[in-house]
Structure 1
Amino acid sequence: MTRLSIGIDGYNLALPRGTGVATYGFGLTETIREMGHSTLGVFGVDVGTRTETRELFFYDRIGRERLPETRRQRRRRIRREWLQMLRGATAAQVPMTDRVEKGAFAEKLPAFDRLVSLDGLFEIADRRLRHLDSFLTLHVDNPPDIMHWTYPVPVRLAGAKNIYTLHDLVPLKLPYTTLDRKGDYLRLIRHCLTSADHICTVSESSRNDILQLFPDVPANKVTNSYQTAPVPSDLLDRDAAEDARFVEGMFGLQHRDYFLFFGALDPKKNLVRIIEAYLTSQSKTPLVIVGARHWGTEQESRLFGGGGIALYGGPTAQGIRQLDYLPRSILLRLARGAKAVLFPSLYEGFGLPALEAIRLGTPVISSTTSSLPEVVGEAGLLVDPYDTNAIAEAIRALDTNPAIAQRLIDAGPAQIAKFSEAAYRQRLAAMYARVLQA
């Protein structure tokens, strides 16, 4: 394929703490670069008005909350945003120089070839969708051939083919598990499906959901590209014993002697049943839970009442440890040394933590629902996520029978091969070629 310019949004990349979609965006950008294409990062960070300070402000403000404003500043900003909402908006070019030391962002931001940013881009777009029922048109100098939005956002880039990745339709399939305003979400998805040049998704399960819930969408407009598990090669090449010593020294956990859950603490992750099943199993192996608390809703927040693990308002047994958000490099080391990763989610568009665990050589307990059988295959124990006893039986099996764990580990390489970087590049190349030819 001819060398292309492809834009990637920074909607999730700019969040203070990582998300699965941020990992997806990071991996997508790196894959596009490996394919020989140039990349443009499109962000909503305030970089000011002066060209010479835009790079400085971008790296100062990315991942942070908006700076405090005076009443006058806030009025001016809102007036400006309303004008941009009505007329369309233009993002400013952010110079790429060596003036700012960027080593601290190596795990957070891909190495974009170009950067543009508009203060409040995604908030302005949301306002336009609510008030005018249409997407915001964004302009940039020298637009890319393709703009690949990694998330359903109400923005369309002028001068480019616009692709939107819909990871799942959980707010429509399991409306009781998210805090989205369902009417607004449905309208957003309908606009994505009608205005997009193409729709990308990450599993056959999600593709089927899209085509079933929106039967007017042509099947050839929706591509399942899957995704890969972007585990750093230096971690995979490193002796596992080195990571084991690191985890023991930092957390006091022995290699293959703890179960691990990691991910956003939202209802579809099924954390209540995971904890119930762990307690029911009567395992003496610790359960480590890694997740940011702010994702929880009322039921999940009760799990962490009083600053420690609690179940339905009462304290649990001593085997459960909670860790807050961890940098990705440390989290992957922790996953590499676990006896198993517990990921029996109610519903997933893809289920990246499960694939990451398999790539690291760690057994997985996962679900028979949604995309997870596609992702986990024979490299995990699949259970009904609504059946606490089934989850507990799987925990007991891996806790007491090393042969089962070894069977799952041995099945890992064949499963990972289905989601290799080479296969991902081929699927993306085919999708981009089809979009440009349409």
Structure 2
Amino acid sequence: MRVAITLEQCWHRVPGGTATAALGCVEALGRLQEPPEMVGISAWHRNLPEEPFEPGIEVAGLRLPRVGLYWSWHEMRRPSVERVAGPVSAIHATGMAVPPRSAPLAVTVNDLAFLRHPDHFTPRGLRFFARSLELTRNDADIVVCPSQHTADDCLRVGIDADRVRLVPYWSDDRLVLPDEADEVRQRFGLADQFVLWVGTAEPRKNLAGLLEAWQLLGRKGQQLVLVGPDGWKSNLGGALAPSDQSIRLLWFVAEADKRALMQAAAAVCYPSLTEGFGLPVLEAMVQGTPVVTSVAGATAEVAGSTGVLVDPTNPQEIADALTGLLNAPDDAARLGKQGRERALAEFTWQRTAEGLMEIYRELAGL
């Protein structure tokens, strides 16, 4: 079985969670005893994307730049992926750029945040996502969702339930050693005890609410550490007072450093307004670090009873949750241990890979 998998998001200025998730799916499939033959599909590029977003499979580039390719796919419904990939049994669009259905088509819908919070997106982004949703509803044989939250949103916008499949993501289960985590903490010059946020700075991540919660805490000798690239409709660097040493902005860090920081953190706080999955929550759980996250949306699904769930629109509630973890290290350690156990039991590469293989077999009529 040969499957074409879109991976253009790996070349985006901010690849973000959709690229990480897509590459995780490719890696999971590659671990199977009998993996499918996979070919990545992208626009035309002279170079591979930077680490950690370099695909681990062959990538065939269509001879159009990204903007032209996305427009042509969405408005002209060409070119087909087979033009560069050759014959395929199935196509898997792992993001919201939907190629023409020249073979049985699966589309991953990570989230429908643009419908819940349209003010968080640019007019161009809203048009793109609206067209993507229209094509998914009309052309996709199967719609893949990483969470029940996203699946429910798909049903609400008219996608038939018999086309929706739930395939959660996974995260590498390697536990960073304490000495390695402490070395990274010291290298970045961080306090012994810190709260970590990881993600792309954009409105739905609710960094304003997190920053307000941190100010309410008024902690001395502890830090809030922010890791990740600047996204859109964000002025994260300008929003921080240079004199406030209790907040550290590290921007983008290497993948290994990110995992070490998660292991070193007293807690990871991820109070997004909405998420389709929330990989940072799962990554923190793998490291045995307690998580504060939103009671609404997919992150609550991921954390389950092992997370401290809060109303993301209530900074005082976020502050109180963090206070509870920082003041009760034994309780925090218990939640962290339970979180790791849940991550290793529920969010495995096998579950992701087998779920996708079942979809590909269905598309191919096998």
Distance 2:101 2:172 in 1: 27
Equivalent residue number for residue 115 of structure 1: 59
Q: How many angstroms does 1:164 deviate by?
A: 1.0
Name 1:432's counterpart in structure 2.
360
Residues of 1 paired with 2:319 and 2:104: CA distance?
48
Q: Does the alignment pair 1:163 with 2:149?
A: no
**Structure 1 residues without counterparts, runs of 5 or longer:** 47-56, 64-103
Q: Which runs of 5+ in 2 are unaligned?
A: none
Structure 2 counterpart of 1:247, which letter?
R
Relative to structure 1, the CA distance from residue 166 to residue 292 in structure 2 (aligned partners, 3 Å threshold; closer, same or farther) is same
- Hey, what does 1:34 align to over in structure 2? 31
The 2-side partners of 1:29 and 1:414 are apart by 24
What's the offset of the Cα at 1:334?
A: 1.2
Larger Rg: 1
Look up the SS of the partner of 1:323 in the other structure. strand
Please give the alpha-carbon distance, in whole angstroms, between the structure 2 residues aligned to 1:124 and 1:435. 28
User: Which residue does 2:116 correspond to in 1?
Assistant: 173
Return closer, same or farther for 1:130/1:397 CA change in 2, 3 Å cut-off: same
TM-score where L is the length of structure 1:
0.77
Question: Partner of 2:131 in structure 1?
Answer: 187
Aligned-residue RMSD, C-alpha: 2.2
Deviation at 1:39, TM superposition (A): 1.5
Q: Which aligned pairs between 1:21-100 and structure 2 lie closer than 5 A?
A: 21-35=18-32, 36-46=35-45, 57=46, 61-63=47-49
The structural deviation recorded for 1:320 is 0.5
Aligned-partner Cα distance in 1 for 2:273–2:253: 24
CA distance in 2 between counterparts of 1:266 and 1:413 reads 28
Retained in 1: the 8 A contact 2:206–2:273? yes
Q: Which residue of structure 2 aligns with residue 143 of structure 1? A: 87
The residue that corresponds to 1:399 in the other structure is: 326
2:171 to 229, 232, 248: 229
Q: Distance in 2 between matches of 1:130 and 1:111?
A: 27
Amino acid at match of 2:314: D
Give matches, 1:23-422, under 5 Å.
Answer: 23-35=20-32, 36-46=35-45, 57=46, 61-63=47-49, 105=51, 107-112=52-57, 114-120=58-64, 122-128=66-72, 132=76, 134=77, 136-138=79-81, 139-156=83-100, 158=102, 160-181=103-124, 182-214=126-158, 217-230=159-172, 233=174, 236=175, 239-248=177-186, 250-254=187-191, 257-284=193-220, 285-293=222-230, 295-297=231-233, 300-301=234-235, 303-305=236-238, 309-310=240-241, 317-416=244-343, 417-422=345-350
Q: Say how many residue pairs are matched.
A: 360
Percentage identity across aligned positions? Answer: 27
Match of 2:226, SS state, is strand
In the alignment, residue 15 of structure 1 is paired with which amino acid?
H
Shift of 1:254: 4.8
Does the 8 A contact of 2:74 with 2:131 survive in 1?
no
Q: Is the CA contact (8 Å cut-off) linking 1:279 and 1:317 kept in structure 2?
A: no
Q: 1:119 to 1:393 in 2, by over 3 A?
A: same
Alignment-mate amino acid for residue 283 of structure 1: R
Give the Cα separation in 1 of the matches to 2:163 and 2:74: 26
Q: CA deviation at 1:428?
A: 1.9
Range that drifts further, 420-429 or 398-407: 420-429
Give the superposition deviation at 1:126: 3.1
Instruction: Give yes or no for contact 1:309–1:321 (8 Å, CA) kept in 2.
Output: no
Partner Cα distance (2:171, 2:337) in 1: 18
- Relative contact order (C-alpha < 8 Å, sep 6+): which is higher? 2
Q: Check whether the contact 1:346–1:386 (CA below 8 A) recurs between aligned residues.
A: yes
Q: Is the 8 A contact 1:274 1:388 kept in 2?
A: yes
Secondary structure in 2 matching 1:425? helix
Cα distance in 2, alignment partners of residues 246 and 212 from structure 1:
45
Scaled by the length of structure 2, the TM-score of the pair is: 0.91
**Runs of 4 or more off by more than 4 Å in structure 1?**
129-132
